[in-house]
Amino acid sequence: MTETATRPTPDTTVSEADVVVVGAGFSGLYLLHRLRGQGFRVVVFEAGDGVGGTWYWNRYPGARVDVKSMEYSFSFDGELQQEWEWTEKYPPQEELLRYVNHVADRFDLRKDIRLETRVTEAVWDDEDARWMVRTDRGDQVSAAHVIMATGCLSTSKVPEVPGLETYTGRWYHTGHWPKEGVDFTGQRVGVVGTGSSGVQSIPLIAEQAAHLTVFQRTPNFVIPAHNHPIDPEHQRSVKAAYDEHRQAARESGFGIAVPVATKAALEASEEERTALYERAWHDPDNSLVTFLTGFTDMITDREANDTAAQYVRDRIAEIVHDPEVARMLQPTDHPFGTKRPCLGTNYYETFNRPNVRLVDVRRDPIAEITTKGLRTGTEEFEFDALVFATGFDAMTGSLTAVDIRGRDGRSLREVWAAGPRTYLGIQVAGFPNMWTITGPGSPSVLSNMMVSIEQHVEWVSDAIAALRDEGLATMEPDQDAQDGWTRHVDEVGHMTLYPSANSWYMGDNVPGKPRVFMPYIGGVGPYRQKCDEVVSNGYEGFVRRPMRVAAGMS
Ligand code: NA7
């Protein structure tokens, strides 16, 4: 096949590939590079008009990664990680997008990526043991394998309140921000949502807008990011020992190398606890997980957790001048970390500005979007612009957005109607040769995504290469293995405090979505070990078949 970066005319003939990859974010790019190196013909489809996935779409003011750049980057190529110079502890979206584009150029990836092309359908043919993949531009590609590298936070959600189509101002979702940017100068702006995207954008929008109203349903725990330029000496010293740093991250709980706690918060004295929380709050080198990993019982014991939660609530009360606003900003309805904790810069301070108002829409929900703004049960608001920082149909949304039909025409949407079921978050029984990168049932969103992406890309591409090398045609989970793993993911999840919160980890933000704890909290290191053991035991728990059996001819 000859692919170009963008294709003005649709190609309706059926073309052939060994592997179709859906998505050209970090996962899709690395898959293309690795599978190519293994001798496969690969075609990548990408809905955007550029590569980058998350970092292509999330261009809202203040968008930046909240895992340190030196850790949130590819480790698979020694020269790449040595030559790229990061500028900040947490680089902004523009820098991450530059990095992604550098990777695409450095490994000559663009020629196999079809941009502005959305995969709409993938149908398995058991006779031929192949997938037929179709796109919104009329492409039809027959491929032995389909890999969903669609990202966990890609299908954005606006609130299910009536009236948006009647609104006459401009509205934006943080996850699909206009490329040209937005100038809020002099405007009355409403922001709905106080997750990471709201927390990052609210302080910057407040600086620009004439007036900002923030609609908060759930207050979040926001830790100071202490973002700063990277000290060149620090960068050099990390790079000098990069292999050890990367290995430590691979073996860690969250894919972020931090010291392993040995003591429970409830065994520690109040002074010890406070000392640790003070460090986690004030240390310029802190990280997203410093609070969560400081004590052994932080995510399993409510009382232990509450010692950290109370520490943060106290800081909010110190920062925010108006006691009533401070009280509204203090999270009390969920344990620390059970909703994605946020890193912020001037977040709580922003609520001291005279042009910022906080509205509690848990108490007084948004009833409708009006022509001029929005209306809660008790009050009407007028805005020149509305910003929805309202998140995503996480983890499963971009998988079920594609009409995927496995053996006997069974649709993934139906098979997952009661919640996602996978083996290792990598494959689904009844969907041979379909693979998910950082899928539900793997550490995924509870980890440094780069570490988990690399692990999955390597595991999946090696599994596909092993099939070929052994003369086999198809691979899918054994039903019992999948049931056992799904049970295990659920049991481990329920040993923690995570299920006690209403969160997108549980599907709570999407009305009607089954309430299932989707990521695997067993830890990045132990999970990797499990995946490696599966391979050394001959792909234990998977069914691998030669062509004639796959095609039903035996
Ligand atoms: P999140 O974390 O899902 O945050 C979405 C926010 O929007 C959250 O505060 C929601 O409140 C709020 N929301 C959603 N729907 C509504 C309605 N109908 N009314 C009021 N408020 C609403 O998405 P982000 O984009 O901020 O972050 C996603 C991830 O990206 C983040 O976790 C990091 O991993 C990076 P709720 O909490 O549901 O009550």
Please report the pLDDT score of residue 259 as a whole number.
87
Average pLDDT on 360-377 reads 97
Residues 403 and 282 in one domain: no
Residues 354 and 209 in one domain: yes
Distance, in Å, from the CA atom of 293 to the CA atom of 266, rounded to the nearest integer, reads 14
Q: Establish if 552 belongs to a structural domain.
A: no
Residues 189 and 137 in one domain: no
> Pick from 7, 91, 63, 87: which is nearest to 179 by CA?
63
Q: What is the number of the ligand 1 atom nearest to the C-alpha of 509? A: 38
Q: Which of 373, 390, 407 is the last residue of a domain?
A: 390
> Pick from 76, 123, 69: which is nearest to 243 by CA?
76
| Residue-wise pLDDT tens digits, 115-142 | 999 999 999 999 999 999 999 999 999 9
| Residue-wise pLDDT tens digits, 196-239 | 999 999 999 999 999 999 999 999 999 999 999 999 999 999 99
Q: Which of 366, 390, 414 is the last residue of a domain?
A: 390
Tell me, what DSSP letter sits at residue 260?
A: P
Residues 399 and 445 in one domain: yes
- Predicted confidence (pLDDT) at residue 67 exceeds the cutoff of 50: yes
Q: Establish if 5 belongs to a structural domain.
A: no
Distance, in Å, from the CA atom of 483 to the CA atom of 415, rounded to the nearest integer, reads 13
> Atom 25 (ligand 1): residue with closest C-alpha?
391
Average pLDDT on 5-21 reads 76
Q: What is the number of the ligand 1 atom nearest to the C-alpha of 161? A: 18
Encoded tokens for 451: 């570490």
- Predicted confidence (pLDDT) at residue 183 exceeds the cutoff of 90: yes
Q: Which of 355, 373, 390 is the last residue of a domain?
A: 390
Using the structure block, give the residue that is written with the tokens 């969920």: 334
Please report the pLDDT score of residue 3 as a whole number.
38
Ligand 1 mean position to 337 CA, how many Å? 14
Ligand 1 mean position to 439 CA, how many Å? 20
Q: How confident is the model at residue 547 (pLDDT cuts 50, 70, 90)?
A: confident
Q: What is the number of the ligand 1 atom nearest to the C-alpha of 197? A: 26
Residues 315 and 195 in one domain: yes
Under DSSP, is residue 267 helix (H, G, I), strand (E, B) or coil? Answer: coil
For ligand 1, pick from 362, 504, 509 the residue to mutate: most ligand atoms within 8 Å of CB. 509
Say what percent of the chain tops pLDDT 70: 97
**Which amino acid, one-letter code, is at 232?**
P
Q: What is the number of the ligand 1 atom nearest to the C-alpha of 156? A: 25
Ligand 1 mean position to 311 CA, how many Å? 23
Q: Establish if 264 belongs to a structural domain.
A: yes
Beta bridge mates, 392 = 156
Q: Establish if 405 belongs to a structural domain.
A: yes
Average pLDDT on 176-186 reads 97
Residues 437 and 452 in one domain: yes
> Atom 10 (ligand 1): residue with closest C-alpha?
193
Q: How confident is the model at residue 71 (pLDDT cuts 50, 70, 90)?
A: very high
Give residue 39's Cα distance to chain centre: 29
Distance, in Å, from the CA atom of 410 to the CA atom of 302, rounded to the nearest integer, reads 42
Domain count, the chain: 2
Ligand 1 mean position to 202 CA, how many Å? 13
Q: Establish if 9 belongs to a structural domain.
A: no
**Which amino acid, one-letter code, is at 98?**
R
For ligand 1, pick from 26, 217, 453 the residue to mutate: most ligand atoms within 8 Å of CB. 217
- Predicted confidence (pLDDT) at residue 445 exceeds the cutoff of 80: yes
- Predicted confidence (pLDDT) at residue 447 exceeds the cutoff of 60: yes
Q: How confident is the model at residue 11 (pLDDT cuts 50, 70, 90)?
A: low
Q: What is the number of the ligand 1 atom nearest to the C-alpha of 193? A: 7
Please report the pLDDT score of residue 372 as a whole number.
98
Ligand 1 mean position to 428 CA, how many Å? 28
| Residue-wise pLDDT tens digits, 253-297 | 999 998 889 999 999 999 999 999 999 999 999 988 999 999 999
Q: Establish if 554 belongs to a structural domain.
A: no
- Sign of the dihedral through C-alpha 48, 54, 56, 57: positive
Q: Establish if 195 belongs to a structural domain.
A: yes
Average pLDDT on 386-392 reads 98
Residues 87 and 108 in one domain: yes
Under DSSP, is residue 45 helix (H, G, I), strand (E, B) or coil? Answer: strand
Residues 98 and 204 in one domain: no
Average pLDDT on 3-30 reads 81
For ligand 1, pick from 66, 220, 340 the residue to mutate: most ligand atoms within 8 Å of CB. 340
Please report the pLDDT score of residue 549 as a whole number.
53
Ligand 1 mean position to 503 CA, how many Å? 8
Encoded tokens for 48: 């955007």
Cβ atoms within 10 A of the Cβ of 166, count?
11
Residues 418 and 269 in one domain: no
Contact present, 500 and 335 (Cβ < 8 Å): yes
Ligand 1 mean position to 215 CA, how many Å? 11
Please report the pLDDT score of residue 473 as a whole number.
97
For ligand 1, pick from 191, 390, 398 the residue to mutate: most ligand atoms within 8 Å of CB. 390
> Atom 30 (ligand 1): residue with closest C-alpha?
196
Please report the pLDDT score of residue 554 as a whole number.
39
Residues 182 and 269 in one domain: yes
Q: Establish if 475 belongs to a structural domain.
A: yes
Average pLDDT on 6-15 reads 67
CATH number of the structural domain spanning residue 462: 3.50.50.60
Residues 118 and 177 in one domain: no
Distance, in Å, from the CA atom of 331 to the CA atom of 316, rounded to the nearest integer, reads 10
Please report the pLDDT score of residue 13 as a whole number.
87
pTM of this structure:
0.96
For ligand 1, pick from 26, 197, 449 the residue to mutate: most ligand atoms within 8 Å of CB. 197
Cβ atoms within 10 A of the Cβ of 553, count?
9
Boundaries of domain holding 136: 15-155+394-546
Residues 381 and 466 in one domain: no
| Residue-wise pLDDT tens digits, 294-314 | 999 999 999 999 999 999 999
Tell me which residues have their CB closer than 6 angstroms to ligand 1: 153, 159, 174, 192-198, 215, 217-218, 340, 361, 366, 389-391, 504, 509
Helices and strands of the chain, counted as H and E runs: 18, 20
Q: What is the number of the ligand 1 atom nearest to the C-alpha of 174? A: 25
| Residue-wise pLDDT tens digits, 37-66 | 999 999 999 999 999 999 999 999 999 999
Ligand 1 mean position to 214 CA, how many Å? 13
Task: Sort 154 into a burial class: Cβ within 10 Å, 0-12 / 13-18 / 19+.
Answer: buried
Please report the pLDDT score of residue 72 as a whole number.
97
